[in-house]
Every structure is written in structure tokens, then in C-alpha cells.
Amino acid sequence: MPDPRLRIEDLRVTFPARAGRAPVEALKGVSVEAYPGEVLGIVGESGSGKSTLARSVLHLQAIDGGRIWLDDTEWSTLVPAALRRQRHAVQMVFQDPHASLNPRLTIRETLAEALRCRPQRPRGKAARQEIEGWLDRVGLPKDAAQRYPHEFSGGQRQRIAIARALIPQPQVVVADEPVSALDVSIQAQILNLLESLRQELDLTFVFITHDLELVGYWADRVAVMRRGEVVEQGDAEAVLQRPQHAYTQELLASAADKRVRY
């Protein structure tokens, strides 16, 4: 095995008590690794801590313990100036492209902003060409650049969000339920787009989903989360075919149930 690209060690996040409720230990010491070029699936039911994990990796959530490494850099302790220089290296695709795209910016403006995150950013004509190249790459027409997010379908908006995440030239992309808000007929198209970009750009993905079927479709390895802990991780095929933990077996059984009911 090569060294991990992303290494998460004993990560802890607790949300303080609110309005008479007990504190929530959203992450209780999570350790996972993503190797270069792989798709690491993170699966678990709603509330298991998946988004908190994603947000911690993106520095959108402060952590209470543990460490995150990006190659040889201790990513979780970067001071703000160093983080600004390196932020492009880890990007995120959110579940809801409607909420994550600024409705007041044209697609060109949104993508131009992403281009500014790059350490060596193209300007002027080169920037315009780069943006048009990206629209084409993610399967959108050239005239999309002048338009606004509300003029697109959910799938198209997710294509825009994917371009925005990849334009900074990240090494790691964290995709938190990237197709969960989309029609089933569109889900495979978007995952296929992500997979072709992964191959072309040698990206490492953390693919977060509550849907075991989607993990089976795309992930190389998988970590199963339950109530803030990873209960099982390994090769995706092995975990899905021969789950060792009772919780994974339950998840698989309930996924099979749902299929029968459709």
C-alpha cells in the first residue's frame, strides 16, 4: 500500500448541550484513510456523523481531538495563512447544489471565483477559456456561463458544483451525498462524471452517502459509521458481500427490503 493521501486519526467532535439537551458526541474517535486515487466510501444512517466528518476535513467544523493529515502536512492544525495557501488542495461537493451555489452570481462568476483559489491562476482570455473548457468537461453548454443557477435542473447544478470543486486543482474531493437530492435516473450520470474526472485527474474521493447501493457502485473501500464511530472498514466488495459487523448486516438487510418494496 502507498502512504495515505488523507489520514484521519481519532477525530473527535462534540456539540455542546443546548436547551436542556445533552451534548452530542458527533464523532467519538474516528480513524480512516483514503489512499491516492481511490474512492473511499463513508456510509451510515442519518445522524451517524458523516457530514461532521466532512466539515471537519474542510475546516468548516472545529475539532475537539485527533488529527487530520494531507500527505505529510498536518492539515488540521494549519494556521490561517497556511490554510489560505493550501485550501485549494481539499474541495467539497455538497448534497444540495441549489443551496451551495450563490443565486446572484452567473455561472461564469462562480467558476471565476473558484479559479482564484488556484495557486497559479490564469487571467483574462486564458481564464475565460479555462471556464469554458470546464463547462464542456462537465457536460454543460457554453452559454451556461452567462446564466444563473435557477435556470438549471438539479443535475445540471450539481455539474456546476463539480466544476467549481475541481477548478482549484484539489488532490482530495469530499462529496457529501452528492447525488442524494437527484432523481435516480440522474444519479448514475453524475457518479459516472465524477468517476471519469477521477481517472483523468488522478483525484482521491471521500464519497459520503447513506445509500449502500451507491457505495457498491462507486467506492473502492468503505468505512461504515454508526453513532459517531467507524464500526467496520475495508475493501468495498468484501464489506458489502461479507459484512462482519451486525450494524452493517442490518443496513444491508434494510436496503434489500427497500428494493423489494419499490
Binding site for Mg ion (CB under 5 A): 50-51
* Nearer to Mg ion (CB atom), residue 59 or residue 147: 59
Stretch that binds ligand ADP, among 46-54, 84-92, 140-148, 150-158 (CB under 6 A): 46-54
CA–CA gap between residue 67 and residue 186 (Å, rounded): 36
Give me Rg for the CA atoms of the chain: 19
Q: Which three cell numbers stand for residue 53?
A: 466528518
Site string for ligand ADP, 5-34 (x = CB under 6 A): ----------x--------x-x--------
Chosen residue from 6, 30, 41, 50 binding ligand ADP by CB under 6 A: 50
Chosen residue from 49, 149, 170, 243 binding ligand ADP by CB under 6 A: 49
Query: Per-residue DSSP letters for 57-108?
Result: HTTSS--SEEEEEETTEEGGG--HHHHHHHGGGEEEE-S-HHHHS-TTS-HH
Which position's Cβ is nearest Mg ion? 51
* Nearer to Mg ion (CB atom), residue 50 or residue 198: 50
* Nearer to Mg ion (CB atom), residue 50 or residue 226: 50
The residues with which 206 forms a beta bridge, in sequence order, are 40, 174
204: DSSP letter: E
Compute how many other C-beta atoms are within 10 angstroms of the C-beta atom of residue 31.
Answer: 15
* Minimum CB distance to Mg ion, residue 50 (Å): 5
Chosen residue from 2, 20, 22, 46 binding ligand ADP by CB under 6 A: 46
